[in-house]
């Protein structure tokens, strides 16, 4: 499964956030494929459509899609003094598919800030700079090798060109993601750390949650990365409550959605994932696929035999199914489409696959 690595300077609230994530974790029993490790939090992707489907189909249970977060500890001791990041830390970042930096904007005189003051932009730069330097190091080793390989016609010139373009961007102090180079397939193939998508979690307090002007400023600075504003301490209390109580607490706090739910949604999207839905008396379920996947690929997520023996898919959009009130009514209204092997899945497709065994 794709994972999002959580990083951040000390004392910004990483552990607090990560503890909240692990407490919000899905039941491992329902997800036999998910390896549950101490530094991994597998949280449900909130999807209100599943409850609607479960009601329509009288499903016994609901199985949402999940998003995996990895706590990448051992951060940047001395990064700001130029000692750089530990190798273990970098290796962990290389394994993650997206990077989520927790940044502190809550003011609390009792919690020491590593740089002596609350400075979210400075904190972001410290980590970006370290990752940029590590990528530059990688490229400085790779480019001479690529030059030889291109001369010997063992490597396509585009690969070398991508490495040189990436180097030029990094030398200006920008991450490849911020420079928009992460969409370039040749650059992405270099597997550099700063071409991974970034998400920023700003750990804030009530004042910060209410300060939309400040939020807009920070959003503009970190774009194209997504920004989430949450109170990690509040989130860690929220996950302890029953759903009804949690909703009340959120409302009392002027929020419509828990920060962890936002983080799960944004993280899932950032990973380039989407879901399709299945429903029946046993379960209403969301299945995770990559954006752009075809119907047989999507079927393969349920079972490889579904992909191999794929015949067709009956697809009803969630909205049409809810309008019609049942699969039979949707069929009668001509809203059930029969799609073949070239069909590209759309978000919210409710699907039944037909296959040969």
Known binding-site residues for ATP equal 11-16
Interface residue with ligand GDP, options 77, 94, 167, 233 (CB under 6 A): 233
Q: How far is the CB of 245 from ligand GDP (least distance, A)?
A: 20
Burial letters for 188-222: b for 16+ Cβ neighbours within 10 Å, e otherwise? bebebbbbbbbbbbbbbbeebbebeebbeebbeeb
Which region holds residue 172: left if phi is over 0, alpha if psi is between -120 and 50, else beta?
alpha
Binding mask 69-108 for ligand GDP (x = CB under 6 A): -------------------------------------x-x
The count of chain residues that interact with ligand GDP, using the rule CB under 6 A, is: 16
Over the window 148 to 187, marking each residue x when it contacts ligand GDP by CB under 6 A and - when it does not, the resulting string is: ----------------------------------------
Which helix (H) or strand (E) covers residue 130, if one does? helix 120-151
11 binds ligand GDP (CB under 6 A): yes
196: helix, strand or coil: coil
Report yes or no: 187 and 162 within 8 Å, Cβ to Cβ.
yes
From 169-177, 229-237, 278-286, 305-313, give the range in contact with ligand GDP by CB under 6 A: 229-237
**Site mask for ligand GDP (CB under 6 A), range 250-289, x = bound:** ----------------------------------------
Binder among 4, 6, 12, 345 for ligand GDP (CB under 6 A): 12
Out of 2, 15, 30, 280, name the contact with ligand GDP by CB under 6 A.
Answer: 15
Bridge partner list, 198: 99
At a CB cut-off of 8 Å and minimum separation 6, what does 311 contact?
A: 354, 355, 356
Distance, in Å, from the CA atom of 12 to the CA atom of 204, rounded to the nearest integer, reads: 10
């Amino acid at each position: 499964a794709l994972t999002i690595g959580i990083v951040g300077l000390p004392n910004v609230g990483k552990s607090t956030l990560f503890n909240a994530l692990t407490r919000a974790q899905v039941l491992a029993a329902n997800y036999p494929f998910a390896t549950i490790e101490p530094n991994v939090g597998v949280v449900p992707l909130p999807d209100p459509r599943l409850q609607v489907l479960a009601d329509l189909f009288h499903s016994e249970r609901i199985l949402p899609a999940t998003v995996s977060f990895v706590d990448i500890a051992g951060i940047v001791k001395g990064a700001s003094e130029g000692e750089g990041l530990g190798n273990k830390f970098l290796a962990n970042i290389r394994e993650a598919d997206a990077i989520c930096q927790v940044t502190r904007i809550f003011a609390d005189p009792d919690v020491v800030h590593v740089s002596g003051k609350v400075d979210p932009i400075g904190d972001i730069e410290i980590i970006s700079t370290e990752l940029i330097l590590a990528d530059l190091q990688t490229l400085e080793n790779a480019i001479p090798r690529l030059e030889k390989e291109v001369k010997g016609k063992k490597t396509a010139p585009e690969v070398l060109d991508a490495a040189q373009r990436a180097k030029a961007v990094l030398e200006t102090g920008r991450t490849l993601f911020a420079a928009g180079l992460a969409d370039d397939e040749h650059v992405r193939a270099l597997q550099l750390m700063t071409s991974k998508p970034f998400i920023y979690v700003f750990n804030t307090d009530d004042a910060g949650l209410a300060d939309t002007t400040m939020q807009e400023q920070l959003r503009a600075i970190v774009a194209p990365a997504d920004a989430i504003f949450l109170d990690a301490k509040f989130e860690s209390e929220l996950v302890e409550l029953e759903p009804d109580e949690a909703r009340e607490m959120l409302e009392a706090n002027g929020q419509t959605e828990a920060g962890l739910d936002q983080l799960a949604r944004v993280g899932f999207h950032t990973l380039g994932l989407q879901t399709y839905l299945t429903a029946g008396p046993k379960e209403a379920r969301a299945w995770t696929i990559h954006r752009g996947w075809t119907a047989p690929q999507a079927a393969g997520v349920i079972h490889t035999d579904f992909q191999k023996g794929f015949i067709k898919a009956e697809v009803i959009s969630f909205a049409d199914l809810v309008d019609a009130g049942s699969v039979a009514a949707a069929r009668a209204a001509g809203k059930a489409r029969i799609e073949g092997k070239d069909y590209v899945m759309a978000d919210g497709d409710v699907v039944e696959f037909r296959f040969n065994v």
